[in-house]
Amino acid sequence: MKNRHALFALITVVGLVADQCTKLYIDRSIQLYQTIPVVDNVFSITYIRNKGAAFSFLSQASWRLPFFVCVSLVAAIAILVAFRKLADDQKLAQVSLAMIFSGAVGNLMDRLRLGEVIDFLDVHWYRHHWPAFNVADSLICVGVFLLALDILLEEKRRKPRAGVKGQGAGR
């Protein structure tokens, strides 16, 4: 197995363990909808269950579970295909895809096991709350950010520097 595959597997496993262990701990340690302030008026642990996607998207749709399971499976397959196409030196893209894959599988596991996703990270400014999220969501968001950064850096590396081509002209 190549180093890049080992890296992908390691990130996936570490991400899944962190995600599932934190969700299991929350589920067993606090009551549903209970809030534990961590940093007053900024961050709390609040146990909720989300039947939808981000921002409870489609949480009331009767067909939501099969839809989200299918979307998660298609996304996971697409990530694996994209990973296979990466060059060995594209480390940031490899890490990014592994993080996104791990997060997608973590939330998929919740959907298959519970029919919904456990969320508990509650960022807020006094009464203004960002929707609660979990470790899997964090992995997906950070992975997407790093992938976008990698795309921008790759584009910059491929662009010829202005003036380099034309330096020898006219001599």
Would you write out the chain's pLDDT as a tens digit for each of its 171 residues? 479 999 999 999 999 999 999 999 999 999 999 999 999 999 999 999 987 666 566 666 666 777 888 889 999 999 999 999 999 989 999 999 999 999 999 999 999 999 899 999 999 998 898 889 999 999 999 999 999 999 998 877 777 655 555 555 554
Rounded CA-CA distance 82/5 in Å is 13
Residue 171 covered by a domain = no
Choice among 110, 119, 122, 150 that is catalytic:
119
Q: Name the domain count of the chain.
A: 1
Active site residue 88: no
Which residue blocks in the chain are alpha helix, DSSP H? 3-29, 64-85, 91-114, 135-158
Residue 166 covered by a domain = no
Domain residues for the domain of 110 are 3-28+54-115+134-154
Active site residue 122: no
Choice among 19, 110, 122, 137 that is catalytic:
137
Residue 14 covered by a domain = yes
What is the DSSP code (8-state) at residue 88? T
Rounded CA-CA distance 140/145 in Å is 9
Entry pTM: 0.85
Joined tokens for residue 106: 């973590």
Q: Give the SS3 label for residue 48.
A: strand
Residue 163 covered by a domain = no
